[in-house]
Amino acid sequence: MQQQTRQPTHPGTILKEDYLLPLSLTLTELSGRLNVSRKTLSKIVNRKGSVTPEMALRLARVFDTTPQLWMNLQGKYDLGQAEYGSEAWQVVERLPARILHSDVVGA
């Protein structure tokens, strides 16, 4: 696995910089539209919380995007955190190529 050179951006940062600020929306206004607590939204915007599938549906509806956009942002961020935040995965041994490329795999 090749390590990325830059950590992915948290979806809360995208939400703040690409949606809240340009649209002059407050957390209170957006939390009302999303029908979630201001605290829940604040956690996401402040990188203390994650975009759940349900939140992705809500954000997609409000901003006329897709839930996949928000889930992809969260997934990339989570994977980047795992990659940068821990070296534990690096001690996992790969299967030998003869096993990976045998007729059994992918059958």
pLDDT of residue 3: 53
pLDDT of residue 97: 81
Q: Cα(first)–Cα(last) distance of the chain, in Å?
A: 23
* Dihedral, 57, 61, 66, 71 alpha carbons, nearest 10: -30
Distance from C-alpha of 18 to C-alpha of 10, rounded to nearest angstrom: 12
pLDDT of residue 46: 98
Which residue numbers in the chain have pLDDT < 70?
1-5, 103-107
Contacts for 19 with CB less than 8 Å, ≥ 6 apart: 25, 63
pLDDT of residue 28: 98
Q: What is the pTM for the complete model shown? A: 0.81
Burial class (CB in 10 A: 0-12, 13-18, 19+), 99: exposed
CB-CB contact of 70 with 78 (8 Å): no
Any idea which architecture 11-100 has in CATH? Answer: Orthogonal Bundle (1.10)
